[in-house]
Structure 1
Amino acid sequence: MTTPRSVQRTYLVLMLGNTLAASLIWGINTIFLLDAGLSNFEAFAANAAFTAGMVLFEIPTGIIADTVGRRASYLLGTVTLAVSTLAYVGLWQVHGPFWAWLAASVLIGLGFTFFSGAVEAWLVDALDSVGYEGTLDSVFGRGQLVSGAGMLVGSVAGGWVAQHTSVGVPYLLRAGVLAVMFGFAAVAMRDLGFTPERHGSTGQEIARLARQTVDLGWKVPPIRWLMVQAIATGGVGIYAFYALQPYLLQLYGDPHAYQVAGLVAAAVAVAQMAGGMAAGQVRRLARRRTSAMIVITVVAAAAMVAIGTVDSFGAVLGLTGLWGLTFAAFTPVRQSYLNGLIPSKQRATLLSADSLMSSAGGVWAQPVLGRVADVRGYAASYVVSAAITAVAVPLIALSRRENAPADSYEPTGAPAGAPSPDQSSG
């Protein structure tokens, strides 16, 4: 018998495995690209190509999740990501041309789009179907905690393996973990509380769900402002994380201390675990989710200013933990708010659309900030990153102004995912 506990357990294993696979290379990815002969601009342009791939494929893969199934989407993601990761290793071995790195990065982006939206939608609908009576904030918080643990293990292990072998071996390990997760998901995942629907040809289905994305997403004011916020600031976190690898090595004074680079991801991982444990406390400190999001954003911007102005390895490492804590605290609050605004049948598509907006932010922000790092240094790029992050505050405030029921931590009587009457247009 499937129970709320078993659904959550499957979700947590998926989160652990996904994060472990991904984080094996997080601590050394920028160093890996630079070792392959790319410049800072080219390395972050490759990362931008990854996010461009997510922009291109978020909606199509979200539609696959809503019309074929969330389990099928997850399985396709593991295969695509494993193959494209192996392509990265091949390019590194031969110092492949820049255009090939861009193409491989787009394929990695495709792999991740099969996950984004699908796993979260699977969880929410499955919990609804088995009568879960708790809050989504607590479940997403536990997901953050487990992901943090996976990130801690993966990042430290990836840095250690790179230090004692080469920067290419963690990528091979990632492909192996993805193969294991394919087997687990094939057995453990079932699409509960959700029946795929098709109303015509693939082209007609894409057009229909695209219209629903606009009608049920962009035209709903509180969702629209969250999407704009994602476009404006979504790429900053990706840049800030990956730029810390060479920046900390620069402060440390040894460009080949890969285990030190792994400390970046480890510090963020510990912060993510702390943020997951604090998810339940956030709702006690704020009456509204948007209030919590605004405060967290201000602290994140301040932490990045400090990272860019303090010239000390130890201090920057500590500030990295603070910045990571803000990200970990922000994510489950935003997830719960957004899921409370959208209907079940289009959940994966709308969540993918939101992820698309964040990826679009990465397309423009990463090469811009990478260029700032080339011209003015990493420290200056963090000050610019802080300024971009601050743009989120007025955008979240605009979403808050709509007084959506999902913004309140207190029960409102409105069913989850149902917009209030004054949110139906705009």
Structure 2
Amino acid sequence: MNPASRRVQRIYLTLLLGNTLAASFIWGINTIFLLDAGLTNFEAFAANAFFTAGMVIFEIPTGVVADTIGRKASYLLGTITLSVTTGLYWMLWLMHAPFVWWAIVSILLGLGFTFFSGAVDAWLVDALTFTQYTGSLETVFGRGLVVTGIAMFTGSVLGGVIAQATNLGVPFLIRAGILVVMLVFAAFVMKDLGFTPDKSRGPIKATRNILAMSIEHGLKKRSVRYIILAAPFASGVGIYAFYALQPYLLQLYGDKTAYSIAGLAAAILSLSQVAGGMLASRVRRLFARRTSTIIGASIASVVALVVLGVTSLFWLAVVFLVIWGFVFAVAGPIQQSYINDMIPSKQRATVLSFESLFGSLGGVFIQPALGRAADVWGYGTSFVIGGAIQLIGIPFLFASRRQQDPADTIKTRDEAAPAAPEVA
């Protein structure tokens, strides 16, 4: 690997490390935090649904920022927005604010994350192409999973321990502070390599063009379309399960104030993610087609969710939590590489954001529905229902496979790379 490509990867991995460390400080306690603020299960997951609704609303407009102003600008705006809204979440908790305020701030949190979705991956792939990187994308995305897994483990464990030693609000303040540090870091080191922002259009025309390109290179291309259509089911259920596991593990453990055990769910998933990221490229070589791994992981995820829902044993729930996290971690880099290899460079951030939009759309409806199921029948039943919902997306993955896109079997590049430059 040449020095320029190595530097791009180092920056990318540092961005992932900082972002995930910041976010994970509250991942292990977020649901408990919301319940402690006086919300019901339905309201807590409805607040999460408003967060995903914000992602749906703002995916396309922030895609315009990434593709017309720059990937770096999009990242900086994301860190600023998330830092401010995290502070607002802390204030709402202090005041035991009514649900309407949680809904508003959750939408703004969604705005912050949409500045990241698509833009960071697009920045990486374009910069690697520009610096003549010749390795596989699975390897880079796999390293990213390892780094984020380590950060997630560190942040979720520390978040739970700090919350238990102090209070549930302190991890949110730490998160806001780390985001400020990442803002300064990115301002100095990120450069939009291999990408020239298109500023020829105004924001309205740019939005229309971005939407048209999303449809042209996303929904109109069958192999991409079916991956996008599968996203709401897997993402909606996955987001719910991640946050519902916090109080569910406490329930199985028998102590609802053991916040460090709540952080265990995120910590276990992070370790599974490290293992999955390290093995993703090796698992990929076991199959002739990328979709084989993606489909297999989806089926294994459904089975794991059902077992999680029916067991009453804490240790067995932990075992299947590991399995659930591992199969998703293995499939993640492979699916990222599959869809990236099917998208032209100029529309990469847009189509990736479009896929994220559909995933968020699933969360808008699935999270509160499963939260209501948890209120009525319990968390276990809600996991079984979630597994059934995720099954709906699997036929779409098979449909993408049937298109026999070259990206399913070989690594493709949409643009020839120029000579590798010196990168300061």
Q: TM-score, normalised by structure 2?
A: 0.96
**Structure 2 partner of 1:387:** 388
Task: Say whether the 8 Å CA contact 1:339–1:417 is kept in structure 2.
Answer: no
The answer to whether the aligner puts 1:99 opposite 2:129 as a matched pair is: no
Within 5 Å, which residues of 2 pair with 1:275-424? 275-408=276-409, 410=410, 415-416=413-414
User: What is the aligned partner in structure 2 of residue 38 from structure 1?
Assistant: 39
1:182 has 2:179 as partner: no
- Contact 2:227 / 2:396 at 8 angstroms: preserved in 1? yes
2:236 paired with 1:231: no
**Separation in 1, partners of 2:310, 2:215:** 42
Cα shift at 1:130: 0.3
Q: Which moved more, 1:112-121 or 1:207-216?
A: 207-216
Q: CA deviation at 1:417?
A: 7.6
Query: Are 1:242 and 2:239 an aligned pair?
Result: no
Equivalent AA in structure 2 for residue 382 of structure 1: F
Pairwise CA RMSD of aligned residues? 1.2
State whether residues 372 and 380 of structure 1, in contact with CA within 8 Å, keep that contact through their aligned partners in structure 2.
yes
Question: Shift in Å at residue 43 of structure 1?
Answer: 0.1
| 8 Å contact kept, 1:222–1:399 | yes
Q: Deviations over 1:94-147 (max 9, x none)?
A: 000100000010011000000110000000000000000000001000000000
**Corresponding position of 1:119:** 120
CA distance in 1, matches of 2:180, 2:283: 36
Could you say what secondary structure the match of 1:345 adopts? helix
Structure-2 separation of matches of 1:110 and 1:201: 21
User: Is residue 28 from structure 1 mapped to residue 32 from structure 2 by the alignment?
Assistant: no
Q: Indicate the residue corresponding to 1:424 in structure 2.
A: none
- Partner secondary structure for residue 298 of structure 2: helix
Aligned to 2:421: none
TM-score normalised according to structure 1 size: 0.96
The residue aligned with 2:70 is: 69
Cα deviation, residue 53, structure 1: 0.3
State the partner residue of 1:197. 198
Distance in 1 (alpha carbons) for counterparts of 2:60 and 2:326:
30
28-37 vs 320-329, greater mean Cα deviation: 320-329
Contact 1:136–1:336 (8 Å) recurs in 2? yes
**Deviation at 1:194?**
0.2
Provide the residue aligned with 1:422 in structure 2: none
Q: Deviations over 1:201-228 (max 9, x none)?
A: 2111111111111111110001111111
Distance 1:139 1:39, change over 3 A: same
Alpha-carbon distance in structure 2 between the residues aligned to 1:298 and 1:202: 42
- 2:150 corresponding residue in structure 1: 149
Residue type at the aligned position of 1:270: L
Q: In 2, distance between residues paired with 1:211 and 1:33?
A: 38
**Worse-matched range after superposition: 299-308 or 30-39:** 299-308
Instruction: Note the 1:41-56 alignment, pairs <5 A.
Output: 41-56=42-57
Question: Which deviates further from its counterpart, 247-256 or 198-207?
Answer: 198-207
Contact 2:250 2:256 in 1 (8 A): yes
1:233: how far off? 2.6
* Secondary structure in 1 matching 2:200: coil
| In 2, Cα distance between equivalents of 1:155 and 1:277 | 20
Q: Distance in 2 between matches of 1:298 and 1:204?
A: 42
Residue in structure 1 matched with residue 419 of structure 2 by the alignment:
none
For residue 320 of structure 1, report the CA deviation from its aligned partner: 0.8
CA drift of 1:376 comes to: 0.6
Q: Is the 8 A contact 1:341 1:417 kept in 2?
A: no
- Counterpart check, 1:216 vs 2:217: yes
Residue correspondences, number: 415
Structure 2 distance, partners of 1:102, 1:142, is 35
Q: Secondary structure at 1:342's aligned position in 2?
A: coil
Structure 2: distance between partners of 1:287 and 1:386 = 27
Distance 1:220 1:198 in 2: 26
2:63/2:210 contact within 8 Å kept:
no
Contact 2:64 2:203 in 1 (8 A): no
Q: What displacement does 1:199 show?
A: 3.0
1:85 aligns with 2:86: yes
Report the residue type matching 1:80 in the other structure. Answer: T
| Matching residue's letter, 2:216 | D
Report the 3-state secondary structure (helix = DSSP H, G, I; strand = E; otherwise coil) of the residue aligned with 1:255: coil
The sequence identity of aligned pairs, in percent, is 55
Q: What residue ranges of structure 1 are gaps of 5+ in the alignment?
A: 419-426
1:131-170 aligned at under 5 Å gives the runs 131-170=132-171
Q: Which moved more, 1:77-86 or 1:384-393?
A: 384-393
2-structure distance, mates of 1:179, 1:188: 15
TM-superposed deviation, 1:315? 1.1
Structure 1 outlier segments of 4+, above 2 Å: 414-418
CA contact (8 A) 1:340 1:417 kept: no
Structure 1 residue 415: Cα displacement: 3.6
AA of the residue aligned to 2:273:
Q
Unaligned runs of 5+ in 2: 417-424
2:13 alignment partner AA: L
Deviation at 1:330?
Answer: 1.6
